Structure 1
Amino acid sequence: MSRHLHAEWTKLRTLPDTGRLLLAIVVLTVAVGVAASAVVSCSPAACGHDPAKVIFFGVQVSQAVVAVLAVLAITGEYDTGMIRLTLAAMPRRTGVLAAKAITLAGVTLITGSVAVLASALSAPRILLGNGFPAETLVLTSAPMLRAAAGSVLYLTLIALFGLGVATVVRDSATAVGVVLGLLYLFPALILMVADAGWQRLLWQISPMNAGLAVQATTDLATLPLGPWTALSVPAAWAAAALLGGGLSFRMRDV
């Protein structure tokens, strides 16, 4: 496995767009979080905003870049024909895909941690000036730590989901379209459906709605699923995508 991991790390870091995409993940996460913090405010009587969701709002945007990175991690090899050389040198396909998943997850964990930490250090100062109570902005509190760690894990799961979809589809544009469609389609459907039961069901199976519930620090009783339980929804999507990708990878000639 060490040989597989070394090869996949070499390929990922030498992709032309990897550096730019990793930088974009950090910049978008921080910039959107800061922008969101600048446009919300709390009155002295009550506050209708969850501070953690505002601080880490940029994750909703940067997840699209994570998906693109994940897709390119494998479709780039199909585009250049390098996949044939990869399989000739390492014919054990499950090992190749597992190494890709581990490498991608590690890179996303590190980049996501930097992005989330930068957001956590910059946005709360703006919220404090906009009337948010100081006690809700304590970064070392259990709810805030869960929101931060959960945001990083969510981005990692989106990366694995994207890798699985791309392994099945093998086309960059199609794979990105499928992943982003599944991420952003459910929130739109929830807004269009009037029935409360259907809204709840769509929320519970939505990788984005359920996954980002891990950021919630207020009104937890109103959530259809608890924060950590809800994070299992994108985990299930990622597992299903990787399973499908693994089966497809093994059954095809290339």
Structure 2
Amino acid sequence: MKGALLAEWTKLRTSPGTWWLLAGVVAATIGLSAGAAAAISCRGECAADLTKVSLTGVQLGQAVVAILAVLAIGNEYSNGMVRVSLAAVPRRTRLLLAKAVVTSAVVLAAAVLGVAGSVLTGHLLLPAHGFLWRPAVGSVLYLELIALLSLGVATAARQPATAVGIVLGLLYAWPVVARVVTDPTWSRRLEQIGPMSAGTAVQATRDLASLPIAPWSGLGVLSLWALAGMLAGWLLLLRRDA
């Protein structure tokens, strides 16, 4: 397993664009969070959930995370290098597990920097904003789960463009569909099972009773999405030829 991890780390760090994408995760997360915080004007009591506002950038940073995770295996299918990888690591489960560990590790570093920067920016731009561990830690875990979901989908789809389209559709199109559904019950159910609408509930600190789903339960829903994505990718990786 150690050799597989080292090989995946070497491939990821030498892949064109990896470091730019990691920087993009940090920049996108902090940048959008700063913009959202700067747009809030609160005097005295503020009706907005300032903690969640300061973490708004996670909704943009996740797109870069998805692209990074998709390319971690999608590039190999595009250029045929997956055959070399499977020749070097014949046990396909080990290969996918090594990719998941290495991808999660680099995304974790970028997520911590991005979320920490967003929280700090929130403190500077929103003096009334107080720090809470759950939204911050939950946001880091959220980005990690998005990476695993994306890696699993990319393993199943093989084509990077297709995989990115599927993941971004799940993240951004699902909430739109939930809002346009006229039936309140079904709209709420869609929000409860949507990967982004459920997962980002972990950032909320106010009016928790009115949320479609509880914070940690929402992150649990996203965990199921990530598990389903990885399971689908793993099964198809085992059954199909390279």
Which residues of 2 match residues 6-17 of structure 1 at below 5 A? Answer: 6-17=6-17
- What 5-or-longer segments of structure 1 have no aligned partner? 129-133
Secondary structure in 1 matching 2:182: coil
Query: Per-residue displacement from partner, 1:207-251 (whole Å, max 9, x unpaired)?
Result: 000000000011111112211111011110110010000000010
Residue 2 of structure 2 corresponds to: 2
Residue 131 of structure 1 corresponds to: none
Structure 2 Cα separation of the partners of residues 185 and 11 of structure 1:
32
User: Which of residues 128, 138, 148 is equivalent to 2:130?
Assistant: 138
Residue 199 of structure 2 corresponds to: 211
**Letter of the structure 2 residue corresponding to residue 23 of structure 1:** A
Residue 187 of structure 1 corresponds to: 175
Which residues of 2 match residues 1-254 of structure 1 at below 5 A? Answer: 1-44=1-44, 46-128=45-127, 134=128, 137-139=129-131, 144-254=132-242
Secondary structure in 2 matching 1:194: coil
Structure 2 Cα separation of the partners of residues 138 and 53 of structure 1:
11
Secondary structure in 1 matching 2:124: helix
Secondary structure in 1 matching 2:126: helix
Structure 2 Cα separation of the partners of residues 195 and 53 of structure 1:
27
How many correspondences in the alignment? 242
Query: Per-residue displacement from partner, 1:152-187 (whole Å, max 9, x unpaired)?
Result: 000000000000000011001111000000111111
Q: Percent identity among equivalent residues?
A: 51
Query: Per-residue displacement from partner, 1:43-84 (whole Å, max 9, x unpaired)?
Result: 43x422111111010000110000000100001111121111
Structure 2 Cα separation of the partners of residues 85 and 194 of structure 1:
51
Contact 2:51–2:130, Cα closer than 8 Å, also in 1: no
Structure 2 Cα separation of the partners of residues 89 and 230 of structure 1:
39
Query: Per-residue displacement from partner, 1:63-116 (whole Å, max 9, x unpaired)?
Result: 000000010000111112111111111100000001101111111111100110
Q: Report the alpha carbon displacement of residue 138 of structure 1 after superposing the two structures with TM.
A: 2.6
**Letter of the structure 1 residue corresponding to residue 104 of structure 2:** A
**Letter of the structure 1 residue corresponding to residue 19 of structure 2:** G
Q: Report the alpha carbon displacement of residue 123 of structure 1 after superposing the two structures with TM.
A: 2.2
Q: Report the alpha carbon displacement of residue 190 of structure 1 after superposing the two structures with TM.
A: 1.9
- What 5-or-longer segments of structure 2 have no aligned partner? none
Structure 1 Cα separation of the partners of residues 39 and 182 of structure 2:
29
Q: Report the alpha carbon displacement of residue 37 of structure 1 after superposing the two structures with TM.
A: 0.5
Structure 2 Cα separation of the partners of residues 181 and 98 of structure 1:
25
CA-atom RMSD in angstroms? 1.0
Question: Normalization by structure 1: what TM-score?
Answer: 0.93
Structure 2 Cα separation of the partners of residues 95 and 68 of structure 1:
22
